[in-house]
Each structure stands twice: as C-alpha cells, then as structure tokens.
Amino acid sequence: MINRKIEDAINAQINAEFWSAYLYLSMAMQFEADGYAGIANWYRIQFKEEQAHAEIFINYLVSRGGRVMLKAIDEVPTTWASPLAAFEATLAHEEKVTSLINSIYALAEAENDYATRGKLDWFISEQVEEEETANNMIDRLKLIGDNGMALYMFDQELAQRVYNVPAPLAAKA
C-alpha cells in the first residue's frame, strides 16, 4: 500500500496534469481561431501528452493500491497576445510542473519510497525535454520577429507534429 502523503501528492499531480492539458487545449483553440493551424496542432499534441501524463500517474497510483481522487480543474487563461507570448507562458508553466515533480521526488525520498522515486525518473527526464522544447520555440520565434513568411513556415512545420504514446503507456498496450 502506498504512503498516504505520497498518494495525496500524486493525486494533486494528476489534477495538475489535467489542468496542463486544459491549458494547452485552450492555447490550441486560440491559435485555431487565429488561423495558425500548425501552432494549434502543436498545442493539441501537448494536450494529449498531458492527458497521458495524468494517466501514467493514475495507473501508478492504482498499481500501488492507492485511490485516485479526481478534483475540479481550475479555469485556465484563454488568450495570448502572440505565438511568442504563448510559448513563453508554456515555458513558465513547464518550469512550474518541473518544480511539482521535484517536490514529489523529494517527498518520496524523505518517505523512503523507492518505487515512486523510480517512477518519477521518467517524468524528470520528460520535464527536461519539455523545457528545452519551449525554450527552442521561444528562440525561434524571437528570430522570426515580424517576418510573416518565416512565421508561416514555422506554422507549417508545427503542423507536421504527430502524437506518440509515451513509453510508460505504450508498455501497457
């Protein structure tokens, strides 16, 4: 049976992952409405990834005999001034998620919960990738500046992104 403190922390993270999904869906909807189908696609994929992250935590909690407690999802923002502003918000959000994952890891360490620490290793690596990707998008958009053709090409590139099932879920399929 999983430690109650760890169970509560993972339940909070499940909620945070669903909030992240809702945030990225909101971003996708704005860019869909603004005519940036590629950027909208990129954020739709992020939406799916965040749902998958929640599912990974759900599966883990259930496997350890814990109880999943789904809570209400707080409201998310619905507008961003530009693609650059959205990706800057994405980076800030991913940095927050990284701190949440690190806090659960520290708790697992304090509670001598080695199984949870091991499960979190995947998420820690995932967060490094998420932050790196957001930083890369920000750098590219700063280079693009007001160049409409470059923004069009950037949007077209992001339209090519496809969803890949995360390894911890692919193993369950």
Which pLDDT band holds residue 173 (cuts at 50, 70, 90)?
A: low
The two tokens of residue 42 are: 């990129």
How far apart CA 126 and CA 169 sit, in angstroms, is 14
How far apart CA 30 and CA 128 sit, in angstroms, is 26
**What confidence tens digit (pLDDT) does each residue in 84-113 have?**
999 999 999 999 999 999 999 999 999 999
Question: H or E segment at 138?
Answer: helix 114-144
CB 52 within 8 A of CB 170: no
CB 115 within 8 A of CB 7: no
pLDDT at 63: 96
**Domain 4-170 = CATH 3.40.50.880:** no
Taken as a whole, the chain contains a residue count of 173
pLDDT at 170: 87
pLDDT at 71 over 70: yes
pLDDT at 25 over 90: yes
- Average per-residue pLDDT in the chain? 97
**What confidence tens digit (pLDDT) does each residue in 2-21 have?**
999 999 999 999 999 999 99
The two tokens of residue 130 are: 């998420």
Torsion angle of C-alpha atoms 49, 50, 53, 57, degrees rounded to 10:
-160
How far apart CA 152 and CA 140 sit, in angstroms, is 13
Largest CA distance in the chain: 56
Which residue ranges make up each domain of the chain? 4-170
The two tokens of residue 95 are: 């940095």
